[in-house]
Amino acid sequence: MSDPEIKGWCPGAYRPMMSGDGLVVRIRPRLARLSAEQALGLCDLAQRFGSGFIDLTNRANLQIRGVAEDAHEPLLQALNALDLLDADPALESRRNILMTPLWQRGDKSARLARAILNSLSNLPDMPAKVGFAVDTGPAPVLVEDSADFRFERSADGIILRADGCARGRPMTEDTAMDALLELAEWFDTHRSETRRRMTSVLARHDLPEEWASTAPRPRGPRPGPGDTALGPMLGAPFGQIDAAALHSLLQETEAPALRVTPWRLFLLEGISMPQSDFITAPDDPLLTTDACPGAPFCPQASVETRALARELAPRINGSLHVSGCAKSCARRSPADMTLTGRDGAFDLVKNGHPWDAPTLTGLTPDTILAGADL
């Protein structure tokens, strides 16, 4: 079996990625928020131009899958009409900003995020997957999520922390963007073709002392499904949202806005918990289950993934990862049980990643569900 092809970039709106079911078009919501009009419009576009589903990614972006090549330009025009695109494709591709989900209108987190948006064009060109986190709520909650430049709170104020370094540099809101530019230029000077993320650069180069002086506040618990001060948080199994179901939910509840997270959760502002087919219970086993789209949607997958994951999830104690190949798109960290597609069957890896040495090989879904020694 040939090694899976690993892309050095993520799909965007202007630069979609071809998959087994068509183009994957990624939308980056500003401040991780869509107005009701934007969310309803996106649901309509997913049904009109795509497969009828919207992916919620681990970078808190949204994706429309299954877009035909000749439908790409009309889709871009429709996204632009919803104010979901930047006019400059280069700027749109840089807008990789994670937001703490419970920010309030006009608070420090919102101000910092808008400042980053306004400063993106001033930063040096950086690799496509480089991103930012605005994690300045009462305690950091995005620590395990992908970002290279992290704004967080310290005991006395805010810091900018390079991912991979335990401490950061204190600053004020007035000096934050100058500091971001300085750290981005340091990163750009020290990165290479093989070291394209902050953690890999720090493995080779030491930061100046002033960039590792101040600890962030201890991390806080990651939010789960349930009520929050802003509205209910709901889960999408495998990060897949049925566009028609979301459209109906938005209309029924009249929620004024929707927020997205990197945890396959979305928040509906200003309403109480609705009756829904989305995940509402924090102990739902699908919350600890990861599965990529699999075959036939991904050309590198040789197995179907999500039907097996749904059936297996209630039977597994701990985390479950069903991966169509060894590339591991759906989960970065090891899982208690990983099933990896290979040549139309599954390999079993315990407490590891899809590329690790398997305990069992050649398993079929029927064998797995019948209770093989897993």
Q: In angstroms, rounded to a whole number, what is the distance separating the alpha carbons of residues 204 and 194?
A: 11
Helix or strand run (H / E) with residue 322: strand 320-323
Whether 205 and 113 map to the same domain: the answer is yes
Mean of pLDDT values over 108-131? 96
What are the pLDDT digits (tens) for 331-342? 888 999 999 999
Is the per-residue pLDDT at 1 higher than 50?
Answer: no
At residue 371, the pLDDT reads: 75
Tell me if residue 291 falls in helix, strand or coil. strand
How would residue 5 be classed by pLDDT, with cut points 50, 70 and 90?
A: very low
343 located within any domain: yes
156 located within any domain: yes
Q: Domain range spanning residue 346?
A: 285-369
- Of 6-10, 175-179, 234-238, the range with the lowest mean pLDDT is 6-10
Q: Which long-range contacts (CB under 8 A, 24 or more apart) does 327-330 make?
A: 327/4, 327/5, 327/6, 327/300, 327/354, 328/353, 328/354, 328/355, 329/292, 329/298, 330/238, 330/290, 330/291, 330/292
At residue 260, the pLDDT reads: 98
Q: What b-and-e string marks burial along 3-17, b requiring 16 or more CB atoms within 10 Å of the CB?
A: ebeeeeebbbbbebe
How would residue 329 be classed by pLDDT, with cut points 50, 70 and 90?
A: confident
Is the per-residue pLDDT at 138 higher than 80?
Answer: yes
Looking at 212, 239, 258, the residue that finishes a domain is 212
Whether 109 and 171 map to the same domain: the answer is yes
Interhelix angle for 243-253 vs 36-49, to 10°?
Answer: 150
Whether 22 and 116 map to the same domain: the answer is no
Mean of pLDDT values over 122-135? 95
Mean of pLDDT values over 194-202? 97
Residues 188, 229 contacting (CB under 8 angstroms): no
At residue 370, the pLDDT reads: 87
Q: In angstroms, rounded to a whole number, what is the distance separating the alpha carbons of residues 218 and 40?
A: 37
How would residue 106 be classed by pLDDT, with cut points 50, 70 and 90?
A: very high
Whether 108 and 70 map to the same domain: the answer is no
Residues 6+ apart with CB under 8 A from 184: 123, 124, 126, 149
Whether 71 and 138 map to the same domain: the answer is no
Is the per-residue pLDDT at 6 higher than 50?
Answer: no
Q: In angstroms, rounded to a whole number, what is the distance separating the alpha carbons of residues 287 and 72?
A: 32
235 located within any domain: yes
CATH number at residue 304: 3.30.413.10
Mean of pLDDT values over 215-243? 96
Mean of pLDDT values over 183-202? 97
Is the per-residue pLDDT at 8 higher than 80?
Answer: no
Looking at 181, 212, 243, the residue that finishes a domain is 212
Whether 153 and 232 map to the same domain: the answer is no
At residue 3, the pLDDT reads: 46
329 located within any domain: yes
217 located within any domain: no
At residue 288, the pLDDT reads: 84
**Pairing label, strands 289-291, 320-323:** parallel
Whether 185 and 155 map to the same domain: the answer is yes
Whether 201 and 108 map to the same domain: the answer is yes
Mean of pLDDT values over 323-337? 90
Whether 79 and 107 map to the same domain: the answer is no
Looking at 212, 232, 247, the residue that finishes a domain is 212
CATH number at residue 53: 3.90.480.10
Alpha-helix runs per DSSP H in 18-60: 36-49
63 located within any domain: yes
Mean of pLDDT values over 308-328? 92
At residue 39, the pLDDT reads: 98
Whether 120 and 38 map to the same domain: the answer is no
Whether 320 and 348 map to the same domain: the answer is yes
Of the candidates 58, 61, 9, 54, the residue with the CA atom closest to the CA atom of residue 30: 61
58 CB neighbour count, 10 Å cutoff? 19
94 located within any domain: no
**Of 9 and 234, which is predicted with more confidence?**
234
Name the β-bridge partners of 257.
Answer: 35
Tell me if residue 264 falls in helix, strand or coil. coil
User: How many structural domains compose the chain?
Assistant: 3
What are the pLDDT digits (tens) for 263-314? 999 999 999 999 999 999 999 999 889 999 998 888 889 999 999 999 999 9
Q: In angstroms, rounded to a whole number, what is the distance separating the alpha carbons of residues 325 and 350?
A: 16
Indicate the pTM of the whole model.
0.89
Type of residue numbered 45: L
Whether 357 and 297 map to the same domain: the answer is yes
Q: What is the largest CA-CA distance in the chain?
A: 61
What are the pLDDT digits (tens) for 36-66? 999 999 999 999 999 999 999 999 999 999 9
Residues 236, 263 contacting (CB under 8 angstroms): no
7 located within any domain: no
Mean pLDDT of the chain: 93
Q: Give me the phi and psi of 275, to 5 degrees please.
A: -75, 130
How would residue 174 be classed by pLDDT, with cut points 50, 70 and 90?
A: very high
